[in-house]
Structure 1
Amino acid sequence: MDRLNRQELEELGKLAAAEARKSAQKANTFFSYSENGKVIREYPDGRKTEVTYDERGQFKEIPTP
């Protein structure tokens, strides 16, 4: 098997992300991804939240516009 070049690897990553998003929607659950250094959860209803942790390490979700 030949090694993938950068463009091929990026394309495969995009395809994998699209499939993961479709699978999450089909399972009626959220899909997580990174955007501008932040972890975003996108829910089946279109709602998006930023995933963070407070100073005590407690999980928080902050609604995003």
Structure 2
Amino acid sequence: MKQIKLHNLFIALAFTTVLASCHKDKIDPTPDKPTAERAGIYILNQGGIGKNNSALTYYDYTTKALIGDLF
């Protein structure tokens, strides 16, 4: 009899935990746009296997310029 009560207690505890963890988050429908001085992407070129010849390149979206060997 004690086994059945303990089993029911664990089920009730698990059910309560599931119900307590479910809630709606208030999400702002209009997220803030990030402001950046530059609009571009960094590109990491891998180079050859076993050689130390990788390179870092930057591509600027606004000027459409590619700057190689940045590092």
TM-score with structure 2 setting the length = 0.31
More strand by share: 1
- For the pair shown, which has the larger CA radius of gyration, 1 or 2? 2
TM-score by length of 1: 0.33
Which of the two has greater helix per residue?
Answer: 1
